[in-house]
Amino acid sequence: MVAQMPARQHSMPGVKPELKILSGTANPELAKEVADHLGINLSPLKIKPFSDGEIYVQLQESVRGDDCFVIQPTCTPVNENLMELLILIDALKRASAGRITVVMPYYGYGRQDRKAAGREAITAKLIADLLTTAGAQRVVALDLHAPQIMGFFNILVDHLYASPVLLEYVRDLNLSDIVLVSPDVGGVSRTRAFAKKLDDAPIAIIDKRRTKHNVAEVMSVVGDVKGKTAIMVDDMVDTAGTLVKGAELLVREGATRVFACATHAVLSGPANERLEESPIEQLIVTNSIPHDMTNMSNKIVPLSVAKLLGEAIWRIHDDSSVSEMFE
């Protein structure tokens, strides 16, 4: 379980800056949940497009000297949401905000964190530079695709994990004889951390090769899954091709049931159709990215990370420890 919010005691003398929560248009429902958890209202904003597609942002109240947190995942449409975020940060900076913290439930371009081939851009680093140049003084990110992205910033980064939210739901399922499965070698540490919280459950690894972007060829399973309930653990689900192929392989290797957990439900292209036709019983995700549930697969179970983000925001505002939330 996520730790409880600390008592509102301040170690610094004097009056604390006022806490302000602002939301872009990417996921206003999540931002409203966060504000409700903190017992405050979202700060009013005017965000609208000009006729040529440029974005206009105006703060509707004073933020001078305030501790401002901007909640904006850079999900689809990625470039519009990113540009809106940069403009909003600039507006706060020019309005003399005391501190500007960007809360990114989903970090767009996070998968482009290295050069996998010649003449490629490292876009995850570029985004870090853009946020800093715009005026962000701190970033709160949720389950980054690669932890080294924190090192791309020259400002403070708080890396949060959705695992407490996902684990609470998985425990309530009361599944027996489980095995935690990493969909690739890169996710082993994430899967091992999950397994440790589930009474040191065994883990297995799917060995795969990616032939091109969004296409993966599943090869084999390393570990014993026969007769077990397999729970696949990943940071995101995009087209669901890798996830579904992995689930099919687990069934062929003898797994009796297959579940999956992922923080970020990107769900682009044929993802929902693939999930419906797959042996996966439930795909447990969070609302880091907004979705219209009427158009999503019935197998998808969305959980809210509003409390998690809200407590992290309060701890930062209160100069309390964020890492204690996960201890």
Residue of 20, 208, 228, 245 with catalytic role: 208
Is 235 in contact with 145 (CB distance < 8 Å)? yes
Indicate if the alpha-carbon torsion angle 305, 311, 317, 320 is positive or negative: negative
The structure tokens 């409390």 sit at 307
Amino acid code (one letter) for 73? P
How sure is the predictor about 309, in pLDDT bands with cuts at 50, 70 and 90? very high
Mean pLDDT computed over every residue of the chain? 93
Per-residue pLDDT at 314: 98
Mean pLDDT, rounded, for 243-262: 96
pTM higher than the cut 0.75: yes
Give the torsion sign (CA, 123, 270, 264, 194).
Answer: negative
Q: Is the pLDDT of residue 8 over 50?
A: no
pLDDT tens per residue across span 93-141: 999 999 999 999 999 999 999 998 999 999 999 999 999 999 999 999 9
| Burial group, residue 90, by CB count within 10 angstroms (0-12, 13-18, 19+) | middle
Give the model confidence (pLDDT) of 208-229 as tens digits. Answer: 776 666 565 657 999 999 999 9
Q: Is 32 a catalytic residue?
A: no
CA distances from 289 to 39, 76, 114, 281 (A): 23, 9, 24, 21
Give the pLDDT score at 123: 97
The pLDDT of residue 211 is 63
Strand order in the sheet with 99-104: 19-23, 67-71, 99-104, 138-142, 156-160
pLDDT at 294 over 90: no
In which element (H, E) is residue 265 found? strand 257-265
Residue-range domains of the chain with CATH? 19-161+306-326 (3.40.50.2020), 163-303 (3.40.50.2020)
Higher pLDDT, 238 or 217: 238
pLDDT one-digit tens code per residue, 39-85: 999 999 999 999 999 999 999 999 999 999 999 999 999 999 999 99
CB atoms within 10 A of CB 293: 10
How much is the pLDDT for 216?
Answer: 59
Spatial CA neighbour of 299 closest among 273, 268, 264: 273
